[in-house]
Amino acid sequence: MTFQTILLKRVALKHISLGVRPNQYTIVHENPMWAIVDVLGDAATPEVAAVWDEVYWLMANLLINKERGLYSAVDLNPDEIWRTWGVVERRKETADTVAFVVKRTNPRPTNQSLPEPYVSLKMIMKGGVHQLRQHSPTAVDDGDHRQFAVKRVRGIQRAPDGEMSNLLHDTVKVGDRVQLAALFGDVVLNYSNRPLVLASAGIGLTPMEGMPSHKVKSHTHRKVQLLHADGDSGSYALRRQVEDSLAQLNEGKPDVWFERAEGNLERNENSGYMNIDNVDLPEDAEYYLCGPLAFMKLVRSALIARGIPAKDIQYEVFGPDL
């Protein structure tokens, strides 16, 4: 697959996860075209504008066709993407992370999820504007329930606090209703019997936890090894859930690195940044990474240096991918 194909697929999946319709491409068209003319100024002659226009519609039509195929593959149309769910559990995992369990309110069952997708949430912000954000399910859907965990994003260096994560933390409680979209994702767990090595940092653990939970439920026999990095033991969200899932799979405990390790460390715990140089890795494994970009670059380089082929390393990015 070329880079462009991967990028277009990622965009198309994000669009259908939000219920984007073909007629909305006209609205999108107006804004970049306005920006192009504004930035180019006098250089935006009618000929130049016509070329940009043509390029936009070439890309838009590619996406519209791709999205039509994706909607029909899951037997949904854009009007059916969003559903109302009721919050049935709210669990404080750490000072900054809350886990939510929601229950379906719509009579039509949802597809039981694969382990890799994300779910989109739609909320009305304090100013009255709709905002959308993605979250990774931390357990496979059973058709009725869905689970996800949200880290409160605090503004650093005078940037404002994250809008939706703070609204979720501050206002959403058991009994409330939330709008969730159908599940989609572009980081796909391949169906094979090869061992799986999952490496995460911080809240990047969420998609990783979905995978062992899927394995527990589907009774597959893939070996799973989890490597996790966190600030300290107090910021390690979903710890109990992850350890329970791995114990059910007889996989032992995850290898953990704490940046600010305190007190006595357990046998599976290390201090400092994740360092995989001395970690025993299974033969012929597939690797999935999720965490801040710097973490993923570091781990990916270390894996490549150990001879792992790049094709066997996939990663999930919690933001723009470039």
* Catalytic machinery residues: 25, 67
Question: Minimum distance between the CB of residue 293 and ligand FAD, rounded to whole angstroms?
Answer: 12
Stretch that binds ligand FAD, among 52-60, 87-95, 148-156, 259-267 (CB under 6 A): 148-156
Three-state DSSP class for residue 121: strand
> Are the CB atoms for 259 and 286 separated by under 8 Å?
no
Query: Does 162 sit near ligand FAD (CB under 6 A)?
Result: yes
Q: Which positions from 107 through 136 interact with ligand FAD, judged by CB under 6 A?
A: 118, 133-136
Q: What's the CA gap between 86 and 167, in Å, rounded?
A: 17
Residue in 151, 215, 222, 228 binding ligand FAD, rule: CB under 6 A? 151
154 within 8 A of 161, measured Cβ to Cβ: yes
Strands across the sheet containing 313-316: 269-271, 255-258, 224-230, 196-201, 286-290, 313-316
Query: Cβ 36 to ligand FAD, closest distance in Å?
Result: 23
Structure tokens at 281: 């890795």
Give the residue nearest to ligand FAD (CB): 162
Q: Out of 113, 147, 200, 206, name the contact with ligand FAD by CB under 6 A.
A: 206
Q: Which of 209, 130, 147 is nearest to 183 (CA)?
A: 147
Query: Cβ distance 126 to 167 under 8 Å?
Result: yes
Q: Shortest gap between Cβ of 18 and ligand FAD (angstroms)?
A: 12
Binding-site ranges for ligand FAD (CB under 6 A):
118, 133-136, 148-151, 153, 155, 159-160, 162-166, 203, 206, 316, 318-319
